């Protein structure tokens, strides 16, 4: 196993060992007190307090619950570091002593379990730690540091909410925007690439209309259950028959709802689906095919009206700037060593992080931090069971604390220092 506690290569990391116990306590606290998207008042308050204590100018309530810090430290580049804060409506099943037992009221008024099953608690902790260390070492660099704690990544609205709330007008334009995400992979490693790093995503609802009847008299109905079933099966042919092998797309139907009783044919059915793509042209073709198939299946069933196709949420393609990504990779290799820095392919996960760079016209770089126990990962790989490891959004997703915590803080500091001159 690689040494993950080498001597610090930057003055800002000299106090990391002493800070780790405090960061571990912060992580466990945030993990135990998760908040749904656009409800991150407690988490945002913790982030704001940490920034103030470290000497940052702090603005809260940006995009409702977002937090922006500024540390002006002489002439030099402005570096934005971003972490997302929200949790998911999932019942945690990790068995951790600090596992979430929280519930909350969602936007539909339902009481739901809440847990940090995507690692945003780790992201908050990383950024809090990096911000403090860089502030303590301000005599070793010049420029402006801008930590941003963002709400509502899980619903794809948080970045845009901060932008719509005047982020670009109220704060200095950065020279680079940096972010990271904990994922399945050996803890202590970092992984990234130039170009597309996470996919575009589109979630849609298809509402199919039929004519209800008694289950014993299907001839009197236009059955939306059969219509929906046919639509789901036909949708699977888009990727297999309309997307070239050299291209990439994922289409998943996650919801199929119809009826309330086994002997009643309902009036309508609901399909909810999610699409991931890495190319604008592929995205356009896939979305057009979904609309074509839904309308054709409705027509084939003699539906009384065409289906309603409604967007639910959308994430942009997240593209790492070539030159900026190379600078981050070189900095990582210089600090971590080549054996801990990995090249990764584009991930079919999605992020609204890219909105900051694309809409501000600023280079951005996003990378991944491994969160899996290294021995567990090696054994799973040898047994060809990588896909059996709990992934983000699994109720059992639980990054190992060490060295994940250390590695993420180091990565943010080293990446920021690639732009901040001495």
Alpha-carbon dihedral sign for residues 369, 375, 378, 381: negative
Judge whether residue 375 has pLDDT over 80. Answer: yes
Q: Could you tell me which of 24, 25, 47 has the C-alpha nearest to residue 35?
A: 47
Judge whether residue 174 has pLDDT over 90. Answer: yes
Paired sense of beta strands 57-62 and 66-73, if any: antiparallel
Q: Is 197 left (phi over 0), alpha (psi -120 to 50) or beta?
A: alpha
Average pLDDT taken over every residue of the chain:
96
What's the pLDDT at 8? 65
What's the pLDDT at 348? 87
pLDDT tens per residue, range 141-161: 999 999 999 999 999 999 999
pLDDT tens per residue, range 16-25: 999 999 999 9
**Mean pLDDT of the region 2-14:** 68
What's the pLDDT at 305? 97
- Tokens 């609309």, located at residue: 291
What's the pLDDT at 56? 98
In contact, 380 and 388? CB cutoff 8 Å: yes
Residue 6: pLDDT band (50, 70, 90) is: very low
18-47 burial, b for 16+ CB within 10 Å, e for fewer? Answer: ebbeebeebbbebbbbbbbbbbbeebbebb
Judge whether residue 2 has pLDDT over 70. Answer: no
Share of the chain above pLDDT 90, in %: 96
pLDDT tens per residue, range 39-93: 999 999 999 999 999 999 999 999 999 999 999 999 999 999 999 999 999 999 9
Share of the chain above pLDDT 70, in %: 98
Residue 60 bridge partners (DSSP): 67
CA distance 162 to 221: 48
pLDDT tens per residue, range 111-134: 999 999 999 999 999 999 999 999
What's the pLDDT at 73? 98
Length of the chain in terms of residues written? 422
Judge whether residue 310 has pLDDT over 80. Answer: yes
What's the pLDDT at 9? 72
What's the pLDDT at 1? 40
**Mean pLDDT of the region 265-292:** 97
CA distance 3 to 410: 14
pLDDT tens per residue, range 181-237: 999 999 999 999 999 999 999 999 999 999 999 999 999 999 999 999 999 999 999
pLDDT tens per residue, range 385-416: 999 999 999 999 999 999 999 999 999 999 99
pTM: 0.91
Q: Which residue has the higher pLDDT, 348 or 368?
A: 368
């Amino acid at each position: 196993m690689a040494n993950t506690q080498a001597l610090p290569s930057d003055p800002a990391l000299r106090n990391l060992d002493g800070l780790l116990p405090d960061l571990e306590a912060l992580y466990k606290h945030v993990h135990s007190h998760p908040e749904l998207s656009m409800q991150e008042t407690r988490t945002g308050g913790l982030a704001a307090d940490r920034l103030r204590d470290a000497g940052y100018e702090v603005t809260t309530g940006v995009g409702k619950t977002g937090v922006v810090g500024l540390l002006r430290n002489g002439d030099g580049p402005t570096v934005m570091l971003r972490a997302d804060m929200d949790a998911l409506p999932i019942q945690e099943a990790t068995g951790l002593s600090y596992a979430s037992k929280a519930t909350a009221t969602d936007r539909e008024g339902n009481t739901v379990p809440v847990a940090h099953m995507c690692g945003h608690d780790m992201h908050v902790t990383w950024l809090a730690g990096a911000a403090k260390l860089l502030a303590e070492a301000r005599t070793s660099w010049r420029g402006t540091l801008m930590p941003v704690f963002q709400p509502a990544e899980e619903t794809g609205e948080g970045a845009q909410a901060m932008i719509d709330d005047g982020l670009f007008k109220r704060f200095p334009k950065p020279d680079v925007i940096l972010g990271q995400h904990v994922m399945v992979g050996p803890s202590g490693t970092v992984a990234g690439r130039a170009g597309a790093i996470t996919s575009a995503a589109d979630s849609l609802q298809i509402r199919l209309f039929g004519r209800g009847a008694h289950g014993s008299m299907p001839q009197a109905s236009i059955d939306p259950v059969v219509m929906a079933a046919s639509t789901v099966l036909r949708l699977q042919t888009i990727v297999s028959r309309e997307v070239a092998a050299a291209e990439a797309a994922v289409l998943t139907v996650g919801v199929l709802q119809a009826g309330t009783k086994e002997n009643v044919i309902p009036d309508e059915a609901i399909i909810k689906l999610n699409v991931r793509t890495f190319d604008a042209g592929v995205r356009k073709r896939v979305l057009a095919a979904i609309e074509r198939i839904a309308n054709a299946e409705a027509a084939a069933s003699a539906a009384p009206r065409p289906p309603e196709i409604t967007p639910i949420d959308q994430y942009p393609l997240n593209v790492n700037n070539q030159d900026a990504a190379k600078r981050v990779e070189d900095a990582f290799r210089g600090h971590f060593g080549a054996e801990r820095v990995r090249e990764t392919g584009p991930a079919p996960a999605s992020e609204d992080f890219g909105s900051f760079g694309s809409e501000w016209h600023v280079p951005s770089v996003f990378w991944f931090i491994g969160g899996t126990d290294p021995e567990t990962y090696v054994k799973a790989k040898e047994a060809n069971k990588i896909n059996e490891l709990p992934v983000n959004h699994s109720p059992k997703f639980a990054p190992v604390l060490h060295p994940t915590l250390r590695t993420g803080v180091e990565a943010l500091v080293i990446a920021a220092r690639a732009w901040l001159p001495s």
